[in-house]
């Protein structure tokens, strides 16, 4: 035991300390959002290393995202200094499994330089298999098969393990056959998909005592964050590794289980005590993240769920503001409104990287992107239309993959005619035939075909010269850094020229992306390192110091926190999603509610929920009604600012009757001044007999309002600002003050965040 003044446990509450100091035996930390689970886990990791209970390389620590792993590594570094350098086994399940698999690839018939393919490649490959078997791809879509295969892999099932029911899941009982064909094909091109990383490793651990014992010995301590979202294959894998020493500490919250659609089983956390008898269960109840208002709203909402363990949360934080619910007309207005709010926050000095917009579905992001581009707001999108999924980036990566691994047929197929070299489907077919006959990769066939009379001489020569280029680039890869290699490849392959020749804005954008890609590669020493990194970045959270608003899905936001959180699209059919409602079951609705709980509890200071009366979904305008989750928020903790008094349909009826009433009224009446304050738009709307929306829009451009200035601060007086600390007032204009802060320098802020400092 250590002195309480130890910086590692300083400031932690007693159960957190317990979690840090109970290093031996199984530990389950089960607690609600923001109670410091991840914080405690991080300290525990630091404690293990610093007290020499284990070397960093002897600890297996699983986080949910790459970003979380990076943050944990940084924090441990802060706590115990650079001694921590290598934490080789700190990462996501996938990253850790990929690293292990590199060492044992041959045990599952792969070479160590195997490629990790993504969904795009996966679908292309499955399509080929389906066609080759003479099946109608329209009737039995590749997507469906991909879904089945993912599900089987998530459950730790190999083709041979499928029961009759599972086999029926695709093409009238041909599920198993296609699964097997797919696995064989992957092996032939020395590749594996995401699901394979874990499944292959599980197979290896199950069938190789030596390898299993090696890892059981190595990992003196095992820790897992977000344990409620582990799936079966991850669970089996962990259990094998931790079985021997039983020093396993898992952390989770049953109320935040939101990945059952990806095979996660909340039951894993519930049966932990059975798997590891004598486990110490630690509960945390103090929330350090959110204001009481936010916490009460979230707790009230999740209280509607029936399937939960139930827990109380409390906080000592300042009450803060109620959760705000804003009703708007449609999605563009929603995006405008959020943009305005964020600009306001920015003027008050709020850093943009503390602002997040969390959406239920990916399609919701575009409206915000459009708006932010037009007002010049800096933003980043995490997940979704990921950088690495853009066509030009995928092309560039395909070149690099063929360089790294000539047997990568999938990559070869992508670029053999990009840029256009006059090689069509016929040419590829000829290569395929030759490759199959000779049992060689396509890249090899592209050379050997020169000695045949299969194709017109011109096509054969084109292939040959392309393969000469590849041979040269492969040599370069041994001497040059990856970024320079890429620049060479793009220039010499004609890829850059082709884009430049297009002379379109899109092409210019693509070129910029490629420049960005090269920039991203500069951090890596070898091409292999970079390619591994790329295949693992699920979240495009490329390190950037610039302050930007974050746009991401609620799912991706798990474990994160932001001062200000905006939650748009809280309408029936969007959230809860149509799918959850159609499936109808209690379970899917409760999972949506857990997602709502996760979303609200990301906010530290302020949470704003929006819903629109009309939304265009899949090209169709539909009028929508506010999400049931809004009605479930406890009233006392919510401030509604909705314009939808009589429900969406009534509002719409009123709307269609008045073309532009505000303009009419404005013409008829003399100019007047509206004072902004709580509810001012509604008051003004009454006065002018129009809608608050029209008021908001008209006043935004005209700025025909006056703000009440503060009278208790004056020029030269010393004041205190919530965020920037102490400073002297330099000037006052309406409700804005210019202040020379002692720490933060000169800034313009809103006077409501300032108080006299005596």
Contacts to Mg ion by CB under 5 A: 37-38, 559
Tell me how far, at minimum, the Cβ of 270 lies from ligand ATP, in Å. 17
Annotation marks residue 234 as catalytic? no
Alpha carbon distances (Å) from 152 to 123, 198, 228, 688? 16, 12, 19, 62
Annotation marks residue 256 as catalytic? yes
Residue 57: both structure tokens together = 């390389």
Paired strand residues for 733: 736
Specify the residue, 320 or 559, whose C-beta has the smaller distance to Mg ion.
Answer: 559
Sign of CA dihedral 255, 256, 259, 261: positive
Contact region with ligand ATP (CB under 6 A), list: 37-45, 188-196, 445-453, 571-579 = 37-45
Q: In this chain, which residue has its C-beta nearest to Mg ion?
A: 38
Q: Is 36 annotated as a binding residue?
A: yes
Annotation marks residue 38 as catalytic? yes
Q: Which of 16, 17, 38, 395 is flagged as catalytic?
A: 38
Annotation marks residue 751 as catalytic? no
Specify the residue, 288 or 363, whose C-beta has the smaller distance to ligand ATP.
Answer: 288
Annotation marks residue 271 as catalytic? no
Q: Count CB neighbours of 547 within 10 A.
A: 13
The binder of 605, among ligand ATP, Mg ion, none, by C-beta within 5 to 8 A per type, is none
C-beta separation of 137 from 178 below 8 A: no
Residue 432: both structure tokens together = 């395929």
Count of alpha carbons within 13 angstroms of residue 575, beta-carbon side = 28
Candidates 479, 35, 470, 526; CA nearest to 288 is 35
Q: Is 31 annotated as a binding residue?
A: yes
Specify the residue, 510 or 602, whose C-beta has the smaller distance to Mg ion.
Answer: 602
Residue 79: both structure tokens together = 């706590």
C-beta separation of 88 from 58 below 8 A: no
Our finding on whether 559 is near ligand ATP (CB under 6 A) is yes
Q: Which of 121, 193, 196, 226 is flagged as catalytic?
A: 226
Which one among 288, 363, 705, 726 touches ligand ATP, defined by CB under 6 A? 288
d(CA 377, CA 379): 6
Tell me how far, at minimum, the Cβ of 561 lies from Mg ion, in Å. 9
Contact region with ligand ATP (CB under 6 A), list: 28-36, 585-593, 670-678, 734-742 = 28-36
Our finding on whether 33 is near ligand ATP (CB under 6 A) is yes
DSSP code for 279 = P
Our finding on whether 289 is near ligand ATP (CB under 6 A) is yes
Tell me how far, at minimum, the Cβ of 252 lies from Mg ion, in Å. 9
**Who's near 613: CB < 8 A, 6+ residues apart?**
327, 328, 329, 330, 623, 624, 644, 648, 651, 652
Q: Could you give phi then psi for residue 491, rounded to 5 degrees?
A: -70, -50
The binder of 49, among Mg ion, ligand ATP, none, by C-beta within 5 to 8 A per type, is none
The binder of 292, among Mg ion, ligand ATP, none, by C-beta within 5 to 8 A per type, is none
Which one among 8, 27, 28, 37 touches ligand ATP, defined by CB under 6 A? 37
C-beta separation of 671 from 640 below 8 A: no
Q: How many residues does the chain have?
A: 758
Helices (H) and strands (E) in the chain, counts: 32, 23
Annotation marks residue 371 as catalytic? no
Q: Is 32 annotated as a binding residue?
A: yes
Contact flags string 570-609 toward ligand ATP, x per CB under 6 A: -------------------------------x--------
Q: In this chain, which residue has its C-beta nearest to ligand ATP?
A: 36
d(CA 633, CA 688): 32
Q: Which of 63, 256, 315, 365 is flagged as catalytic?
A: 256
Tell me how far, at minimum, the Cβ of 256 lies from Mg ion, in Å. 9
The binder of 154, among Mg ion, ligand ATP, none, by C-beta within 5 to 8 A per type, is none
The binder of 363, among ligand ATP, Mg ion, none, by C-beta within 5 to 8 A per type, is none
Our finding on whether 253 is near ligand ATP (CB under 6 A) is yes
Q: Is the peptide bond before 576 cis (omega within 30 degrees of 0)?
A: yes
Q: Is 291 annotated as a binding residue?
A: no
d(CA 503, CA 290): 50
**Who's near 674: CB < 8 A, 6+ residues apart?**
680, 684, 695, 699, 704, 705
Q: Is 38 annotated as a binding residue?
A: yes
Residue 323: both structure tokens together = 């959760």
Which one among 19, 27, 30, 35 touches ligand ATP, defined by CB under 6 A? 35
Q: Count CB neighbours of 632 within 10 A.
A: 15
Candidates 25, 50, 28; CA nearest to 37 is 28
Contact region with ligand ATP (CB under 6 A), list: 8-16, 48-56, 376-384, 611-619 = 8-16
Binding-site annotation: residue ranges = 31-38
**Where do contacts with ligand ATP occur on this chain (CB under 6 A)?**
11-13, 16, 31, 33-39, 253, 256, 288-289, 559, 561, 601
Binding-site annotation: residue ranges for ATP = 31-38
> Looking at the annotation, which residues are catalytic?
37-38, 225-226, 256, 602
């Amino acid at each position: 035991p250590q002195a309480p003044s130890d910086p590692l446990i300083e400031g932690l509450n007693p159960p957190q300390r317990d979690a840090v100091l109970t290093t031996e035996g199984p530990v389950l930390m089960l607690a609600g959002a923001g109670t410091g689970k991840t914080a405690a886990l991080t300290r525990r990791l630091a404690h293990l290393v610093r007290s020499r209970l284990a070397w960093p390389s002897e600890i297996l620590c699983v986080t949910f995202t790459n970003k979380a792993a990076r943050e944990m590594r940084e924090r441990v570094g802060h706590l115990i200094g650079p001694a921590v350098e290598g934490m080789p086994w700190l990462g996501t399940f996938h990253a850790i499994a990929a690293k292990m698999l590199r060492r044992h690839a041959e045990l599952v018939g792969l070479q160590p330089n195997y490629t990790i393919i993504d969904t795009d490649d996966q679908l292309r490959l499955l399509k080929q298999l389906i066609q080759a078997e003479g099946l109608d791809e329209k009737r039995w879509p590749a997507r469906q098969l991909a879904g089945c295969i993912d599900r089987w892999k998530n459950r730790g099932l190999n083709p041979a393990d499928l029961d009759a029911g599972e086999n029926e899941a695709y093409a009238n009982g041909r599920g198993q056959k296609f699964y097997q064909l797919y696995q064989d094909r992957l092996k032939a091109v020395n590749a594996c998909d995401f699901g394979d990383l874990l499944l292959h490793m599980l197979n290896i651990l199950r069938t190789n005592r030596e390898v299993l014992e090696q890892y059981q010995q190595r990992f003196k301590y095992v820790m897992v964050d977000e344990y409620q979202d582990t799936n079966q294959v991850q669970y089996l894998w962990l259990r094998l590794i931790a079985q021997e020493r039983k020093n396993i500490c898992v952390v989770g919250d049953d109320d935040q289980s939101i990945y059952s659609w990806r095979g996660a089983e909340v039951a894993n956390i519930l049966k932990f005590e059975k798997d590891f008898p004598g486990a110490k269960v630690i509960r945390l109840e103090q929330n350090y993240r959110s204001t009481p208002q936010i916490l009460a709203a979230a707790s009230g909402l999740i209280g509607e769920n029936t399937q939960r363990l139930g827990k109380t949360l409390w906080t000592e934080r300042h009450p803060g503001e109620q959760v705000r619910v804003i009703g708007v007309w449609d999605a563009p207005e929603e995006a405008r409104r959020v943009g305005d709010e964020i600009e306001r926050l920015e003027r008050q000095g709020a850093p943009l990287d503390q602002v997040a917009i969390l959406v239920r579905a990916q399609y919701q992001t575009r409206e915000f992107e459009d708006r932010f581009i037009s007002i010049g707001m800096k933003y980043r999108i995490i997940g979704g239309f990921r950088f690495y999924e853009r066509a030009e980036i995928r092309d560039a990566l395909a070149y690099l993959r063929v360089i790294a691994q000539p047997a990568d047929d999938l990559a070869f197929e992508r670029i053999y005619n990009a840029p256009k070299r006059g090689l069509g489907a016929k040419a590829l077919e000829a290569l395929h035939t030759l490759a199959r006959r000779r049992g060689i990769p396509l890249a090899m066939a592209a050379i050997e075909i020169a000695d045949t009379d299969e194709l017109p001489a011109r096509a054969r020569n084109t292939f040959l010269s392309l393969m000469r280029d590849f041979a040269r680039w492969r040599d370069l890869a041994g001497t040059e850094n990856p970024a320079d290699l890429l620049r060479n490849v793009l220039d010499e392959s004609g890829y850059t020229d082709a884009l430049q020749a297009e002379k379109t804005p899109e092409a210019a954008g693509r070129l910029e992306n490629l420049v960005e890609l090269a920039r991203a590669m500069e951090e890596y020493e070898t091409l292999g390192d970079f390619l591994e990194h790329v295949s693992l970045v699920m979240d495009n959270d490329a390190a950037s110091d610039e302050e930007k608003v974050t746009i991401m899905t609620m799912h991706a936001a798990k474990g994160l926190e932001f001062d200000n959180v905006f939650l748009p699209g809280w309408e029936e059919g969007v959230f809860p999603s149509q799918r959850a409602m159609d499936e109808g079951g209690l379970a899917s609705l409760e999972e949506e509610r857990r997602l709502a709980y996760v979303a609200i509890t990301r906010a530290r200071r302020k949470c704003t929920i929006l819903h629109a009366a009309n939304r265009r979904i899949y090209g169709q305008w539909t009028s929508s009604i506010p999400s049931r989750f809004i009605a479930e928020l406890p009233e006392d903790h919510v401030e509604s600012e909705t314009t939808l008094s009589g429900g969406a349909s009534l509002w719409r009826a009123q709307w269609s009757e008045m073309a532009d009433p505000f303009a009419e009224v404005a013409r008829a009446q003399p100019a007047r001044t509206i004072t902004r304050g709580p509810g001012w738009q509604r008051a003004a709307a009454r006065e002018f007999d129009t809608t608050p929306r029209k008021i908001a829009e008209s006043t935004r451009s005209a700025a025909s309002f006056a703000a009440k200035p503060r009278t208790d601060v004056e020029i030269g007086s010393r004041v205190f600002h919530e965020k920037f600390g102490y400073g002297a007032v330099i000037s006052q204009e309406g409700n804005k003050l210019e202040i020379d802060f002692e720490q933060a320098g000169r800034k313009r802020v809103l006077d409501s965040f300032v108080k006299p400092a005596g």
